[in-house]
Amino acid sequence: MSENKPAPVAWRDVDLDGMCEAFSRCIEAQHHKDSPFHSPINADAMTALRILRGLLPAMKALAAPALVAQQLTDAQIDKAARTLAAAMDYPWEYMPAKGRDEMRKHARAVIAAATGQEGGKNHG
């Protein structure tokens, strides 16, 4: 796996909030029973659930790298398009408006591909 591209996460398509609620219901259902979730194991399970809930925002962010491309400003896309044009040895200053629009489109596609966004596969 490339150093620049994050590894896919196992929970990308998992309903994390729903999983936490289901876990909570299981703990509550077993709370007063003589079972594997009986105290002190129940307390450990509740601690694990609190930790998981605390990690949810970071886990969701890791599972949605495609949002990066959607959150870029027009100025950032413009800068990426200029960099792409320079790499192709086509000075931005001499590029017609239609060419600049195409270069912006290509820059968005490259960013989408780099972040795992579906639109990066076929932008044409």
Answer yes or no: is 85 within a domain.
Answer: yes
Answer yes or no: is 11 within a domain.
Answer: no
Answer yes or no: is 57 within a domain.
Answer: yes
Domain ranges, residue 33:
16-64
* 65 has a pLDDT exceeding 60: no
Please give the torsion angle defined by the CA atoms of residues 96, 99, 101 and 104, in that order, rounded to the nearest 10 degrees.
-120
User: Do residue 80 and residue 47 come from a single domain?
Assistant: no
Say if CB 69 and CB 108 are below 8 A apart: yes
What is the pLDDT confidence band of residue 122, given thresholds at 50, 70 and 90? very low
Question: What is the total count of domains within the chain?
Answer: 2
Answer yes or no: is 3 within a domain.
Answer: no
Whole-prediction pTM: 0.44
* 101 has a pLDDT exceeding 90: yes
User: Do residue 59 and residue 77 come from a single domain?
Assistant: no
Return mean pLDDT, the chain.
74
* 50 has a pLDDT exceeding 90: no
User: Do residue 77 and residue 60 come from a single domain?
Assistant: no
User: Do residue 23 and residue 56 come from a single domain?
Assistant: yes
Say if CB 74 and CB 66 are below 8 A apart: no
Average pLDDT of 45-72?
Answer: 71
